[in-house]
């Protein structure tokens, strides 16, 4: 049996679970790894993962979303290049999800943009933040 340690998930309320699954599949390259209808509440619950580490976004179907992750409180996804961010932002603009155009803020922030998911939660796309390198170099 594997024991989970450290930060494993964040749970987000969503009003249309299928639309949210599609958003995170496109913009965060996440896929459903678990789906169920909660036995006690009858509520749909989905776990999304990008399979790069043991971390999931838990989507919980609800009739309304009272609190959202706003731009300062956001989920961050590292991308492989500026070009990928630009392409995703072009698509997000067409679909009405673009919140903040891509911007280069230099080291350590890098190149980034904000998207708004279907329920108003903010997703940051970034390139060049070097979080993994910083973690690896910190004793």
Taking only the tens of pLDDT, the chain with its 139 residues reads: 788 889 999 999 999 999 999 999 999 999 999 999 999 999 999 999 999 999 999 999 999 999 898 888 999 999 999 999 999 999 999 999 999 999 999 988 999 999 999 999 999 999 999 888 778 888 8
pLDDT digits (tens, 9 = 90+) for 42-75: 999 999 999 999 999 999 999 999 989 888 899 9
Cα–Cα distance for residue pair 125/71, rounded to 1 Å: 12
Measured between alpha carbons, how far apart are the two ends of the chain, in Å? 28
The tokens for 120 are 């108003």
Q: For the whole prediction, is pTM greater than 0.85?
A: yes
Cα–Cα distance for residue pair 128/126, rounded to 1 Å: 7
Query: Any bridge partners for residue 78, and if so which?
Result: 126
**b/e 82-102 (16+ beta carbons within 10 angstroms → b):** eeebbebbeebeeeebbbeeb
Domains of the chain in start order, with CATH, are 9-136 (3.10.180.10)
Residues 13 and 65: beta-carbon distance below 8 Å: yes
Residues 92 and 46: beta-carbon distance below 8 Å: no
């Amino acid at each position: 049996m594997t024991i989970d340690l450290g930060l494993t998930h964040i749970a987000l309320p969503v009003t249309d679970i299928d639309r949210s699954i599609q958003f995170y599949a496109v913009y965060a390259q996440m896929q459903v790894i678990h789906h169920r209808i909660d036995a006690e509440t009858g509520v749909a619950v989905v776990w999304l993962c990008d399979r790069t580490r043991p971390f999931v976004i838990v989507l919980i179907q609800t009739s309304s979303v009272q609190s959202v992750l706003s731009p300062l409180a956001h989920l961050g996804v590292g991308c492989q290049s500026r070009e990928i961010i630009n392409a995703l932002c072009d698509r997000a603009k067409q679909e009405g999800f673009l919140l903040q155009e891509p911007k280069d803020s230099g080291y350590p922030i890098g190149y980034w943009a904000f998207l708004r998911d279907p329920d108003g939660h903010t997703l940051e796309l970034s390139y060049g933040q070097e979080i993994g390198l910083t973690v690896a170099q910190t004793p």
